[in-house]
């Protein structure tokens, strides 16, 4: 099969290939730090060879558990936040029918999400829609005490137990958590839930190819073996022994760091395929949480095109020249739709009659790229042969590997996230959580 590819030619107005290729030694050094585990954050490198280390028994266990939930439930709620939510939603939204919930012949449970916010209206509406429905829960939390998912699970667990009884509920609840410790592990052992382990050495934003992502993705009816196979293939071609000219993860890291040094502080991930929206949401967490520290880091933003050309297009074209664009381009759509002829031609579109909608979209993509490059926005282009589980698996691993290399090139630890704890301390203090009395007093003095 073909691989996804990367083209940096449209970024060469600001940087040169010589500049990028001159970084080969640095890229190799950073990639070797990942391989050898000698870099910062080396206790969170379990994702590196995760795809190739997943066993047949592990995949079968996930598939069997997914089938149990599929047999019992019309709706399965995946409870989690950050990497415990975004990776799953990215894959499911990319690979399932856009209007899946409305299909009368739908074969798979509807996958809903909770624990990714603290919205009272959202939780109310979710609990209302679950009334009278056959539903199950996949609770994803290493500790079991992260506020958003813990709050959602407390409510949904009670609703499920009230509806079907504790004995049946335990067969509809799966916990994905720490192997030995934490509130969710304790509860799962006490109640007898089926459990899967979140590996200690895999951070949340890198966890989509663990049971965190694979189980709910399998529940949604997606072939997780193809997803893993794609990631395995990308793992092989992005190693530290692969020359920079052939290593797209290294090339991506080198190009974006050169653009950053040239004053391009914002990277916009753009797609012309609406089903890739949540791929960009996952990517924003991956790069924002990995690189945004020590006063450094490219700010990750995203747009869905052509939709956002009618909202953000003006800024991208003529705004402050601090941005570059990475475009995900899909070669082949799943379906064929042809523009019909209209005798009156009041909309003036008969010049498109007989053309595929995808041809119109491709010309919009090319026209946009040319306009943005002319407007001073360097473009990187990632090409996917098609949107399927195999190439989504490739894309995920490509971005993960590129992120690790890029973070080390930037001089930060790509695998911690110390800044995200600040809001939690303030929130707990404001809510008078036991143990936060000093913080509460300090905040009161500021208000």
Q: What does the pLDDT read at residue 444?
A: 75
Which residue, of 200, 226, 252, is where some domain finishes?
226
Say whether both 68 and 210 belong to one domain: yes
pLDDT tens digit at each of 447 positions of the chain: 899 999 999 999 889 999 999 999 999 999 999 999 999 999 999 999 999 999 999 999 999 999 999 999 999 999 999 999 999 999 999 999 999 889 888 889 999 999 999 999 999 999 999 999 999 999 999 999 999 999 999 999 999 999 999 999 999 999 999 999 999 999 999 999 999 999 999 999 999 999 999 999 999 999 999 999 999 999 999 999 999 999 999 999 999 999 999 999 999 999 999 999 999 999 999 999 999 999 999 999 999 999 999 999 999 999 999 999 999 999 999 999 999 999 999 999 999 999 999 999 999 999 999 999 999 999 999 999 999 999 999 999 999 999 999 999 999 999 999 877 777 788 787 778 888 887 777 777 888
Residue 310 annotated among the catalytic residues of the structure: yes
Cβ atoms < 10 Å from Cβ of 356: 15
pTM as predicted: 0.95
CA 269 – CA 301 distance, rounded (Å)? 6
Residue 128 annotated among the catalytic residues of the structure: no
Question: Is 213 part of any domain?
Answer: yes
Question: Is 394 part of any domain?
Answer: yes
Say whether both 238 and 377 belong to one domain: yes
Say whether both 291 and 269 belong to one domain: yes
Residue 433 annotated among the catalytic residues of the structure: no
For residue 206, give the nearest of 403, 63, 40, 382 by alpha carbon: 403
Say whether both 99 and 234 belong to one domain: no
CATH number of the domain where residue 254 is located: 3.40.50.10490
Domain residue limits at 392: 5-41+228-418
Question: Is 433 part of any domain?
Answer: no
Q: What does the pLDDT read at residue 425?
A: 81
Question: Is 434 part of any domain?
Answer: no
Say whether both 321 and 340 belong to one domain: yes
Task: Tell me the β-bridge partners of 384.
Answer: 330
Cβ atoms < 10 Å from Cβ of 310: 9
Which residue, of 176, 206, 226, is where some domain finishes?
226
Question: Is 210 part of any domain?
Answer: yes
For residue 83, give the nearest of 216, 212, 215 by alpha carbon: 212
Q: Say how many CA atoms lie within 13 Å of 85 toward its Cβ.
A: 18
Which one is catalytic: 93, 148, 289, 291?
289
For residue 401, give the nearest of 209, 257, 253 by alpha carbon: 253
The number of domains in the chain is 2
The angle, 0 to 180 degrees and rounded to 10, between the axes of the packed helices 224-237 and 389-410 is 40
Q: What does the pLDDT read at residue 446?
A: 81
Which one is catalytic: 49, 296, 424, 444?
424
CA 349 – CA 258 distance, rounded (Å)? 43
Q: What does the pLDDT read at residue 141?
A: 96
Q: What does the pLDDT read at residue 432?
A: 82
Which one is catalytic: 38, 310, 336, 438?
310
Question: Is 430 part of any domain?
Answer: no
- What tens digit of pLDDT does each residue of 23-35 get? 999 999 999 999 9
Q: What does the pLDDT read at residue 24?
A: 97
Q: What does the pLDDT read at residue 443?
A: 77
For residue 160, give the nearest of 133, 141, 182, 140 by alpha carbon: 133
Say whether both 69 and 82 belong to one domain: yes
Say whether 306 sits in a helix, a strand or coil. coil
For residue 409, give the nearest of 51, 22, 17 by alpha carbon: 22
Which residue, of 205, 226, 247, is where some domain finishes?
226
DSSP state of 177: E
Question: Is 308 part of any domain?
Answer: yes
Q: What does the pLDDT read at residue 172?
A: 98
Say whether both 375 and 247 belong to one domain: yes
Say whether both 204 and 256 belong to one domain: no
Question: Is 334 part of any domain?
Answer: yes
Say whether both 132 and 182 belong to one domain: yes
CA 280 – CA 270 distance, rounded (Å)? 8
Say whether both 376 and 405 belong to one domain: yes
Q: What does the pLDDT read at residue 431?
A: 74
Say whether both 213 and 290 belong to one domain: no
Q: What does the pLDDT read at residue 297?
A: 97
Say whether both 188 and 235 belong to one domain: no
């Amino acid at each position: 099969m073909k691989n996804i590819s990367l083209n940096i030619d449209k970024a060469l107005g600001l940087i040169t290939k010589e500049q990028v290729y001159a970084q080969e030694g640095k890229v190799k050094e950073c990639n070797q730090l990942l391989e050898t585990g000698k870099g910062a954050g080396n206790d969170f490198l379990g994702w590196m060879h995760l795809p190739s280390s997943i066993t047949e028994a592990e995949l079968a266990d996930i598939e069997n558990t997914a089938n149990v939930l599929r047999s019992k439930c019309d709706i399965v709620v995946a409870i989690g936040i950050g990497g415990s939510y975004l990776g799953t939603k990215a894959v499911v939204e990319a690979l399932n029918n856009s209007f899946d919930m409305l299909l009368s012949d739908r074969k798979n449970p509807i996958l809903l999400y909770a624990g990714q916010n603290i919205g009272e209206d959202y939780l109310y509406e979710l609990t209302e829609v679950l009334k009278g429905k056959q539903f199950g829960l996949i609770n994803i939390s290493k500790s079991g005490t992260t506020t958003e998912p813990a709050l959602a699970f407390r409510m949904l667990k009670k609703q499920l137990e009230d509806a079907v009884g504790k004995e049946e509920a335990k067969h509809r609840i799966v916990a994905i958590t720490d192997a030995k410790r934490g509130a969710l592990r304790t509860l799962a052992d006490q109640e007898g839930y089926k459990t899967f382990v979140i590996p200690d050495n895999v951070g949340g934003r890198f966890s989509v190819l663990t049971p965190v992502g694979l189980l709910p993705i399998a529940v949604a009816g997606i072939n997780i073996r193809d997803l893993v196979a794609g990631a395995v293939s990308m793992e092989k071609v992005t190693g530290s022994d692969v020359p920079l000219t052939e290593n797209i993860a290294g090339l991506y890291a080198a190009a974006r760091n050169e653009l950053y040094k040239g004053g391009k502080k914002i990277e916009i991930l753009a797609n012309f395929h609406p089903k890739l929206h949540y791929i960009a949401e996952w990517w924003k967490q991956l790069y924002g949480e990995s690189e945004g520290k020590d006063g450094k880091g490219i700010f990750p933003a995203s747009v869905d095109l052509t939709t956002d050309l009618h909202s953000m297009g003006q800024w991208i074209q003529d705004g402050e020249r601090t941005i570059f664009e990475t475009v995900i381009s899909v070669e082949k759509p799943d379906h064929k739709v042809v523009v019909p002829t209209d005798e009156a031609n009041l909309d003036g579109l008969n010049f498109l009659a007989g053309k595929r909608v995808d041809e119109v979209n491709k010309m919009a993509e090319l026209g946009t790229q040319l306009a943005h490059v002319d407007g001073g926005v360097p473009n990187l282009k990632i090409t996917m042969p098609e949107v399927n589980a195999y190439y989504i698996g490739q894309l995920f691993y490509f971005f993960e590997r590129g992120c690790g290399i890029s973070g080390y090139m930037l001089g930060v630890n790509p695998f911690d996230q110390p800044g995200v704890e600040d809001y939690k301390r303030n929130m707990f203090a404001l809510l008078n959580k036991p143990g936060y009395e000093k913080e509460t007093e300090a905040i009161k003095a500021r208000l």
